[in-house]
Amino acid sequence: MNRVINKKFVGRQTVNKKRAVSNSTRHNIFLKASNSIRSYSVKPEEPSPVTTMSDSSYVSLIDKYKPPSFTKHLAADIRVPFAPYHLIPDDLKIPGRSYDSMADFSQKKYQNNEQPPLEDHSVEIKGGMKYDKYLSESYLHKPRQLLSGAFSYSLPEARKQHKFLTVSPNAMKDLNLNAEYELNKENNTYFEEILGGQKIVEKTFPYSQAYAGFQFGQFAGQLGDGRVINLFEVEGDNGQKFEIQLKGAGKTAFSRFADGKAILRSSVREFIISEYLNAIGIPTTRSLAITSLTKTYAQRERALSCAIVARFAPSWVRVGTFDLYRARGDRKGLRKMADYCIEHVFGGEGKLGDVVIDGGATKYDKLYLEIVRRNARTTAMCQVYGFLNGVLNTDNTSIMGLCIDFGPFAIMDKFNPGYTPNSEDGENRYGYDNVPSSVWWNLTRLGEDLGELIGAGPKFVNDESLLKGNIDAELEGKIIGRANKVIDMAQQEYQDEFLKTYIETFGKRLGLAKVNTGDNDELISPMLKMMWETEINYNKFFVTLSNIEFFKKPGGIETNSPAQSHDYLESAKKFIPLNFQNSKGWSTEEIAGKIAEFLKIYHQRLIDESTMSDNSRLLVSKSFNPKFVPSSWVMEEVVETLRENKCDDISTLKKLTKMICSPFDENSWGEELPDVQKRWMDSGESYDGEKYMLQCSCSS
């Protein structure tokens, strides 16, 4: 295993009401800024307890939000920016509050565009409150290297025009939000404006997270949320908290050389794929809404219109978050981040999986192994469904094992182990065959980040020498030895958990009542080899296979008799669309012959399950084989339609949203656009091999 635990972790020192139902009072939670309405607070506070409205039990988004735990428990690089009270119109000022002593936010500028001395970073004002006397709103959008802290405060940048497009019905349901109510302008929910970056809520200040990352195997230094603004937390229908953020909302402290924008294409693609992955059961971050910025353009391969995606997740912490602390040599900050993840991301040490190791396990051992197991399971499921992220750097690896940050992703149309959807991945680092090892490579970097914590063990983890960095040669050796042992254990856990999930998920897609240890070599591998050679549609194969009747006699009577005869060649033809051609130039008969060979193997495997029948097999598989898959060419078609009509007609986007939110049930897709639906289902009436296995760049 290629890794090195740092012998010396020590680096440079880091610097240190419910609202009233009447419209007249509810506006007090918004303060006007420029041509949009925003509110700010001097310090993040807990909002008043949520109660229901007088005429309904429904609680709207602006009544149920909570300040984020991330900013409550972790440090920022600057103080809470002082509110721009000069921007508050008189009729919106909060009754009883004195504004005479409030600083003019817009006038605080850095001289010569440089950071002032840290010791002169704040002044006292009336009431004992502190504010950053140099801080301006423009500074929040100024790229910079953080000397310390896990995040930096930020704000969405003003845009010329916003056009709210649609929401995900599944996301609304999971967050206990009612679309009809929230999108009704008469209810003054500000739902569209908040999720479009036009307004922010009171009692919490938006922020952007800091993290670093290894990109294509090379450490890239500080990265962070370069175009993401985190808003607040919301509790879902199961009591789980979710952090809502806006992608494409403008420059932040971490934008580096970028423009803080997200183009319409990448925004639509992320909105669609995250909700589709969730619908088929793959752990993923989610999308709540999408807003078009019709008069905002970003220069990519050409000038392209932009958009904002409102997305949410239980946590946005990544492996790259820990990379940043290790790179800084910030021992105290790294431990604090690990403690935060244990307590506030995973819900406490008791919620982490068990770890058996000589001498006992610490909570940091358990944290590391929990992250490893989760990523192993998600990686296996992505492999089974043919989903590729395209850029699996450490900053794109979630500690919760979620699919995250969708760029040049794709779902394979045809099985090809050498396929990568990223046109810039010349070494195929994140191609299908290399994904499992690439994810483990990232998790090895995490083990190195946590090296001191997992290496210390129960005996030394809280030792004063470790806390202060006074590590002698003897203790150093013990830490390195144990850390490597834990990482070796994690590697085995990763392999075991991956293979277990991989075989079980394939078994469900194949409709097996149970899986055997030999299924990978005797059933799954021959199946994948057959699909690679024939080039038939990958995901449609499983749907077609589910409906092949292996156990019915000519009279229609179902049987599981081993003597049951079957015309495998005839069944094989059902997998081959009209006018189908593969790159090898095989005839239909040759392709059918290869498929028939696998059907014989599969049929025998079904016969081995003496209780198996066609109906029971379909009952198992139908919940794991979506009838619709959002191929890249489908999403491109929707994006082009939106571009051409400047998002005035969103019927194709809404149709696609219905289909990806209920991919197993065509009865939920509605009756609109039947010709479009038929084309997207790719029935094979006019096979066009050029549209499959598309690639795109990281530019988004």
Q: What is the edge-to-edge ordering of all strands in the sheet holding 303-313?
A: 151-153, 207-209, 228-235, 241-247, 303-313, 286-299, 163-167
Model confidence pLDDT, tens digit, residues 617-644: 999 999 999 999 999 999 999 999 999 9
Cβ-contact 136, 105 below 8 angstroms: yes
Residues 363-392 have a mean pLDDT of 97
Give the chain's end-to-end CA distance (angstroms, integer).
Answer: 35
Which among 323, 395, 519, 682 is annotated as catalytic? 395
Residues 222-231 have a mean pLDDT of 95
* Mean pLDDT of the chain, nearest integer: 84
Q: Rounded to 5 degrees, what are φ and ψ at 574? A: -70, -20
pLDDT at 685: 61
Q: How far is CA 366 from the centre of its chain?
A: 23
Q: How far apart are CA 309 and CA 316, in angstroms?
A: 15
Q: Rounded to 5 degrees, what are φ and ψ at 509? A: -65, -30
Judged against a pLDDT cut of 90, whether residue 656 lies above it is answered with yes
Judged against a pLDDT cut of 80, whether residue 559 lies above it is answered with no
Model confidence pLDDT, tens digit, residues 164-194: 999 999 999 999 999 999 999 888 888 999 9
Judged against a pLDDT cut of 70, whether residue 114 lies above it is answered with no
pLDDT at 79: 56
Residues 324-334 have a mean pLDDT of 93
Model confidence pLDDT, tens digit, residues 122-163: 444 434 444 455 556 677 888 888 888 899 888 888 899 999
Q: Quick count: other Cβ atoms within 10 Å of Cβ 567?
A: 10
Q: How far apart are CA 430 and CA 397, in angstroms?
A: 13
Amino acid type, 657 = T
Q: Where does the pLDDT of residue 301 fall: very low under 50, low under 70, confident under 90, or very high at 90 and above?
A: confident
pLDDT at 98: 53
Question: 74: part of which helix (H) or strand (E)?
Answer: none
Judged against a pLDDT cut of 80, whether residue 91 lies above it is answered with no
Cβ-contact 612, 552 below 8 angstroms: no
Quick check: is 519 catalytic? Answer: no
Q: How far is CA 253 from the centre of its chain?
A: 21
Find, among 221, 225, 213, 232, the residue nearest to 252 by Cα: 225
Residues 37-62 have a mean pLDDT of 48
pLDDT at 273: 98
pLDDT at 581: 85
Per-residue burial over 45-57, b if 16 or more Cβ lie within 10 Å, else e, is: eebeeeeeeeeee
Inter-residue long-range contacts of 547-556, CB under 8 Å, 24+ positions, other chains counted: 547/618, 548/574, 548/599, 549/614, 550/603, 550/606, 550/614, 551/606, 551/612, 551/613, 551/614, 552/614
Question: 665: part of which helix (H) or strand (E)?
Answer: none
Q: Where does the pLDDT of residue 104 fall: very low under 50, low under 70, confident under 90, or very high at 90 and above?
A: very low
Q: Where does the pLDDT of residue 22 fall: very low under 50, low under 70, confident under 90, or very high at 90 and above?
A: very low
pLDDT at 75: 83
Cα angle for residues 228, 231, 237 (degrees, 5° grid): 115
Q: How far apart are CA 173 and CA 155, in angstroms?
A: 28
Which residue, chain included where needed, has tokens 């690679």? 532
Cβ-contact 239, 229 below 8 angstroms: no
pLDDT at 240: 92
Model confidence pLDDT, tens digit, residues 662-696: 999 999 999 999 999 999 998 656 667 788 888 88
Q: Where does the pLDDT of residue 89 fall: very low under 50, low under 70, confident under 90, or very high at 90 and above?
A: very low
Find, among 279, 345, 338, 272, the residue nearest to 314 by Cα: 345
* Residue 24 CB-half CA count within 13 A: 1
pLDDT at 189: 85
pLDDT at 187: 87
Cβ-contact 38, 199 below 8 angstroms: yes
pLDDT at 700: 63
CA distances from 551 to 391, 519, 565, 596, 602 (A): 44, 21, 9, 16, 12
CA distances from 410 to 506, 509, 535, 543, 693 (A): 19, 20, 17, 19, 8
Which residue, chain included where needed, has tokens 């040490």? 349
**Percent of the chain having pLDDT more than 90?**
63
Find, among 691, 620, 654, 615, the residue nearest to 272 by Cα: 654
Question: 349: part of which helix (H) or strand (E)?
Answer: none
The overall longest dimension of the chain from CA atoms, in Å, is 92
pLDDT at 547: 94
Residues 198-210 have a mean pLDDT of 84
Judged against a pLDDT cut of 70, whether residue 554 lies above it is answered with no
Model confidence pLDDT, tens digit, residues 399-432: 999 999 999 999 999 999 999 999 988 898 999 9
Find, among 314, 282, 246, 207, the residue nearest to 509 by Cα: 282
